[in-house]
Amino acid sequence: MLRAVDQYYMKQEEPNRSCLMALRDHILSLNDLLTEDLKYGMPFICYKGKMFCYFWKDKKNNEPYIGIVEGNRLDHPMLEKGKRSRMKILRINPTEDLPLDLISEILTEAMTFY
């Protein structure tokens, strides 16, 4: 039987499903202390047991993004703060190649805050 977090991915329409699953695999490979769980109805990646980042999709264009919990502590031009007080997001275009180097760079820096 599939875990709840796996069911979340399977319910997503393409190309978001493939995009999110590739993001999950890449992010989890960055560090052995990263784990995955479903919290608040969305996939969360935890680092050392603490909420680190999550996947969600924009309500307007339905495209996925990575929400970074300690994003307000990061200064990167690709991160958007919006009206969030703590988190910033990195938008992902599911029809283009994933910016894996960019994702690795941002999330590796975010790990230093834990």
Q: Does residue 13 surpass a pLDDT of 90?
A: yes
User: Each residue of 53-108: pLDDT tens digit?
Assistant: 999 999 999 999 999 999 999 999 999 999 988 999 999 999 999 999 999 999 99
**pLDDT at residue number 35:** 97
Residue 34's domain is classified under what CATH number?
Answer: 3.90.1150.200
Q: Output the pTM of the full model.
A: 0.94
For residues 49-76, one letter each, b for 16 or more C-beta atoms within 10 angstroms of the residue's C-beta and e for the rest, the string is eebbbbbebeeeeeebbbbbbbbeebee
Nearest one of 36, 24, 4, 15 to 93, comparing CA atoms: 15
100: its two tokens: 């894996």
Q: Residue 38 is part of which domain span?
A: 4-111
Q: Does residue 1 surpass a pLDDT of 90?
A: no
Q: Does residue 25 surpass a pLDDT of 90?
A: yes
44: its two tokens: 């969360």
Q: Are 82 and 56 in contact (CB under 8 A)?
A: no
> How many domains is the chain partitioned into structurally?
1
Q: Are 43 and 83 in contact (CB under 8 A)?
A: no
Q: Are 53 and 67 in contact (CB under 8 A)?
A: yes
52-36-67-31 Cα dihedral, nearest 10 degrees: 60
User: Each residue of 36-46: pLDDT tens digit?
Assistant: 999 999 999 99
